[in-house]
Amino acid sequence: MSAIIEARGLGRTLPGDPPVVLLRDVSLTIEPGAFTTIVGPSGCGKSSLLYLLGLIDRPTTGELLVEGREVSQLSGDARAAIRLARFGFVFQFHFLLPEFTALENVMLPMQRLARLSSTEARARALELLAGVGLGEKHTKTPDRLSGGERQRVAIARALANDPILILGDEPTGNLDSHNSARVVETLRALAHEQGRAVACVTHDPGIAEVSDIQIEMLDGRVERVIDRRGAVSGQP
Ligand SMILES: Nc1ncnc2c1ncn2[C@@H]1O[C@H](COP(=O)(O)OP(=O)(O)OP(=O)(O)O)[C@@H](O)[C@H]1O
C-alpha cells in the first residue's frame, strides 16, 4: 500500500548561535492501515518530528511527501488546507469545551470547518461517538466522563473531517492503564478496521509493543524501525 507520508532525509535546525539541531536525516514512511508509534528518550525529537509530519512546522532540509506530493515548499495556506482536509490531531490534553456535551464537542468543528448543517453534523457526530464506544454517553459534559472517555471524544472530534492520517502526541499521556488501553484499542481500530494511518508519539513501552510499526528515535535521528506486520500477517 502506498505511504500517506514519506519523509526523505528530513532535518530541522533552529537558527541561532549556536544553531539547535532538532532532527537530522530522518527518513520514514507512515502507511495506511497501520498503527505507528514514535518512541525514544525525552528530548530526542519526537514532538519535533510530529510537528513536521503534521505540517505544523517545516523542515530545513529534506523532502516531505503527503500522498506522493512534496509539501515543504507549499504556501502556509496550502499546507493548512491539506491539514484541515486530510489530517486529524489528538493531543495529551483533550481540549474539550467544558460547557458543551460530548455530542456538541464533536459537532462544533463539523459545523464550523466543514459547514455541515446541524442535522447533518448531529447524525455524523452520533455515528463517530458510537464508533469510539460512546454512543450512550453523548449527552454528558466532559466533567461527567472518565479521562479515557474524554480522550475518546477527542478522537471522535479528530475524525470530523474523515482524515486519512491521525497524529497523536502522547494521546494516553495522562490516563491510567485501563483507560489508556481503551484509547489505544480505539486508535488501532481506526487503522486496522478503517484503513487510516495512525501515528502517535508515546513514552509508554506497552503501547509501542502493540503498534505495527515502531519508530525509535535517538538524538534527533531514527535509530531503528521495528515492523511487526510481517509476523502478524504470516508473510515471510
Ligand atoms: N524552540 C526550541 N528552542 C530550543 N530548543 C528546542 C526548541 N524546541 C525543542 N527544543 C529542543 O529540541 C529537542 C527535541 O525536543 P522535542 O520536544 O522534539 O523532544 P521529545 O522527544 O518530544 O521530548 P519529550 O519526550 O520530552 O516530549 C529537545 O532537546 C528540546 O529541548
* Residue 44 predicted with pLDDT over 70: yes
Asked if residue 181 belongs to a domain, the reply is: yes
The pLDDT assigned to 183 comes to: 87
* Residue 234 predicted with pLDDT over 60: no
Nearest-angstrom CA–CA distance, 44 and 22: 8
What separation in Å is there between the alpha carbon of 23 and the centre of ligand 1?
A: 10
What is the grid cell recorded at 75?
504556501
Asked if residue 12 belongs to a domain, the reply is: no
Give the pLDDT band of residue 233 (cuts 50, 70, 90). Answer: very low
What separation in Å is there between the alpha carbon of 219 and the centre of ligand 1?
A: 10
For atom 24 of ligand 1, which residue has the closest CA?
Answer: 42
Asked if residue 70 belongs to a domain, the reply is: no
The per-residue pLDDT for range 167-178, each reduced to its tens digit, is 999 988 877 888
The per-residue pLDDT for range 97-121, each reduced to its tens digit, is 999 999 999 999 888 776 788 899 9
Give SS3 for 227: strand
What is the grid cell recorded at 88?
486529524
For atom 29 of ligand 1, which residue has the closest CA?
Answer: 43
Asked if residue 127 belongs to a domain, the reply is: yes
What separation in Å is there between the alpha carbon of 21 and the centre of ligand 1?
A: 10
pLDDT over 90 for what percent of the chain?
Answer: 75
The per-residue pLDDT for range 6-16, each reduced to its tens digit, is 999 999 999 99
Q: State the DSSP string of 191-212.
A: HHTT--EEEEE-S-HHHHHT-S
How would you class 207 by CB atoms within 10 Å of its CB: exposed for 0-12, middle for 13-18, buried for 19 or more? Answer: buried
Question: Residues 138-147: what's their mean pLDDT?
Answer: 94
Q: Is any ligand 1 atom within 6 A of the Cβ of residue 12?
A: no
Asked if residue 22 belongs to a domain, the reply is: no
What is the grid cell recorded at 101?
456535551
Asked if residue 86 belongs to a domain, the reply is: yes
**What is the CATH classification number for the domain harbouring 153?**
3.40.50.300
The pLDDT assigned to 174 comes to: 77
> Total structural domains in the chain?
1
Asked if residue 141 belongs to a domain, the reply is: yes
Domain containing 103: what range?
32-55+79-229
Asked if residue 64 belongs to a domain, the reply is: no
Beta bridge partners of 64: 7
ipTM: 0.94
The per-residue pLDDT for range 46-96, each reduced to its tens digit, is 999 999 999 999 999 999 999 999 999 999 999 999 998 999 999 887 789
For atom 2 of ligand 1, which residue has the closest CA?
Answer: 14
Query: What does DSSP say about strands 35-39 and 61-66: parallel, antiparallel, or unpaired?
Result: unpaired
What is the grid cell recorded at 210?
502493540
What is the grid cell recorded at 39?
518512541
